[in-house]
Structure 1
Amino acid sequence: MIRKRSLVRRSAAVVAAGAAALVLAACGGDGDSDGGDSSAGHGGHSATASSPASASASASASASASVSQGQHNVADVAFAKGMIPHHRQAIEMADLAPGRAKSAEVKKLAADIRKAQGPEIETLSGWLTSWGEDVPAEGAMDHSTHDMGGMMTGAEMAALEKSSGQAFDTAFMELMIKHHEGAVEMAKTEQADGAYGPATTMAAEIITSQSTEIEQMKQLLGKG
């Protein structure tokens, strides 16, 4: 009996010791957990603290990129809205050349004008749309605005349509020189007053290409 009681006591002691160990382990786990949470908390706090900072820096960088890519002003809008009908009229003139021009040089010049200015119209239209601006309607060109950028009058366009051969070549080049000179002046205004990088870049390209074509036409007319 005594031995049995001793075994019972030992078992009880073992159970008690085990229970105590479990309690200590649990407390230690909580402590570790707290420590882990604290450590994680510090890490988390740092992450939380750095996260807004990172987000802020990222937002700032994004805003800066957006400004550099998307910033535009009234001069850019005026350039796009003016150049679209201007280019359309040049293409309208160029479309007359294949069936009326005598000179191979004039036909090639007309083809080059069509090839260069068609894509520029699309680009200019895309900018206006992205800026929330209206794109000038197709066919809404007012020929009476010839004083703006060398635009042709309705009468000049009608006379060109009725001409052919050498008479067409001469009229086409004389009118296109004025037209190009107007475009060059519009492009120079954009370079001076515009803020949108791609627009000022296009303006520079227009100045270069159309100035070259002006000189080419003057040479063909014997005015160079």
Structure 2
Amino acid sequence: MRTTHAAFIAAAAGAALVLAGCGTDSSDPSSSGASSTSHSLSISAEAGSGAEAQFNDADVTFLRGMYPHHAQAVQMAEMVDDRTDNAELLALAQRIAAAQAPEMDQITGLLAQSGNPAPTSTGHEGMDHGSGDGMMSEDDMSTLMGMSGPEFDRMWLTMMIEHHEGAVEMADTELAEGENPDAKQLATGIVSAQQREIAEMQAMLG
């Protein structure tokens, strides 16, 4: 009887161990679901961090600075029609306006993607004339507006060369320090087009 009783106790203990093991089975749906949810949140967090990293400070600085820079170039280009009969200068001004106005829309879109509003056309964002950005002061613009004929042509070309040189410098900084592919592609186009126009304007000055 003692042998039979001992065997019964051993069997009961074994069954209890089996049941305990089932209670902590890793295939339990609630345990698996919690693990899956945690993994999904981790992936989402990593994806979010990647999206935010698409624009760094250099990208945003470039875009916010180039918007008013382009706006001023377009303003200068629009002055030409009423102040000169120089066909070569008229054609150049039209090309500048036609290229830079659409780029302002592109800049607005890129800033929106980065979570930043576009600055105002007149907001220089701390950019001062003479700081290397090529922006003209209000006095410069007023003086230019008061000119006409050959005097206007020479002043306009001189100012636009300086303006373009500032844009190229800003774009070069973006290419060296930025990381957003679209912003860097815009910078590449600015360098190419404006260096070509600088050479053209220098030739026109003689």
CA distance in 2, matches of 1:181, 1:146: 13
Structure with the higher helix share, 1 or 2: 1
Residue 109 of structure 2 aligns to which amino acid in structure 1?
Answer: G
1:118 partnered with 2:104: no
Among 81, 93, 96, which residue is 1:98 paired with? 81
- After TM superposition, give the deviation of residue 129 of structure 1 in Å: 1.3
Question: Percent of counterpart pairs with the same letter?
Answer: 40
**Counterpart of 1:217?**
201
Q: TM-score, normalised by structure 2?
A: 0.73
Among 53, 60, 69, which residue is 1:86 paired with? 69
| Residues 95/142 of structure 1: CA separation in 2 closer, same or farther (3 Å cut) | farther
**Deviation readout 1:111-137 (Å, 9 max, x if unpaired):** 011000001111111111121112102
1:191 partnered with 2:175: yes
**Counterpart of 1:3?**
none
| Residues 70/103 of structure 1: CA separation in 2 closer, same or farther (3 Å cut) | farther
Q: TM-score, normalised by structure 1?
A: 0.67
CA distance in 1, matches of 2:90, 2:199: 16
**Counterpart of 1:177?**
161
| Residues 69/201 of structure 1: CA separation in 2 closer, same or farther (3 Å cut) | farther
CA distance in 1, matches of 2:149, 2:56: 45
**Counterpart of 1:43?**
none
Q: Which stretch has the larger CA shift, 123-132 or 209-218?
A: 123-132
**Counterpart of 1:151?**
135
- After TM superposition, give the deviation of residue 72 of structure 1 in Å: 1.2
CA distance in 2, matches of 1:198, 1:206: 12
Does the CA contact (< 8 Å) of 1:91 and 1:114 recur in 2? Answer: yes
- After TM superposition, give the deviation of residue 68 of structure 1 in Å: 8.1
CA distance in 2, matches of 1:188, 1:72: 17
- After TM superposition, give the deviation of residue 102 of structure 1 in Å: 2.5
**Counterpart of 2:185?**
201
Structure exhibiting the larger radius of gyration computed from Cα positions: 1
CA distance in 2, matches of 1:166, 1:184: 27
Q: Alignment partner of 2:135: what SS?
A: coil
- After TM superposition, give the deviation of residue 98 of structure 1 in Å: 0.8
Matches for 1:154-169 after TM superposition, within 5 Å:
154-169=138-153
Does the CA contact (< 8 Å) of 1:86 and 1:183 recur in 2? Answer: yes
Q: Name the count of aligned residue pairs.
A: 169
Does the CA contact (< 8 Å) of 1:144 and 1:154 recur in 2? Answer: no
Q: Alignment partner of 2:74: what SS?
A: helix
CA distance in 1, matches of 2:126, 2:92: 23
- After TM superposition, give the deviation of residue 212 of structure 1 in Å: 0.3
CA distance in 1, matches of 2:88, 2:126: 27
CA distance in 2, matches of 1:153, 1:128: 25
**Deviation readout 1:134-179 (Å, 9 max, x if unpaired):** 2102444589721241111111101110101111110100000000
Does the CA contact (< 8 Å) of 1:102 and 1:169 recur in 2? Answer: no
C-alpha RMSD of the superposition: 2.8
Structure 1, unmatched stretches of 5+, are: 1-47
